[in-house]
Amino acid sequence: MLSFGVEIPFVSHLGFTLHRMEGGESELRYEARPEHLNSFSVTHGGASMTLLDVTMATAARSITPDMGVVTIEMKTSFLQPARGPLVARGRLLHRTATMAFTEGSVYDAEGRLCCHATGTFKYVKRLPVDGRSTHDLRRISTD
């Protein structure tokens, strides 16, 4: 299992694991716990969307791991219920100096496509560990 390179508390809470992050591609795995299910006893759409978001972001970061990315937009299509262990695969489709255009898919244990997304991400410099920007730190020191 690989490391995301940064601590992402929500991703840790959900239990996503990273298995590939190279050459514009990524693979994550996830099995929803009971508290991550919807009223139909399948993976909640919000958890699936988060999995897709992180998968696409990881694919975007795979070619520039020293940079972070933030989601600009995302479109998700739900094709069938996501049950059991899931595998998510992401792919960087195109990159400019500041933007990444990606796609991601989530498959169930039988290899059926459960949901698919496209996403646009902006490359950003990493923030200080406490999450505040340099501008915020200057403002705080002068207050």
pLDDT tens-digit profile of 71-109?
A: 999 999 999 999 999 999 999 999 999 999 999 999 999
Structural domains of the chain ordered from first start: 9-142 (3.10.129.10)
CA-based torsion, 132, 49, 113, 101: positive or negative: negative
pLDDT of residue 128: 64
Q: Which residue positions in the chain have pLDDT lower than 70?
A: 127-143
Question: In angstroms, rounded to a whole number, what is the distance separating the alpha carbons of residues 47 and 82?
Answer: 10
Q: How far apart are CA 19 and CA 17, in angstroms?
A: 6
Residue 139: the pLDDT is 43
Beta bridge partners of 105: 89, 116
pLDDT at residue 7, rounded to an integer: 84
> Are 50 and 74 spatial neighbours (Cβ–Cβ below 8 Å)?
no
> SS3 of 102, please?
strand
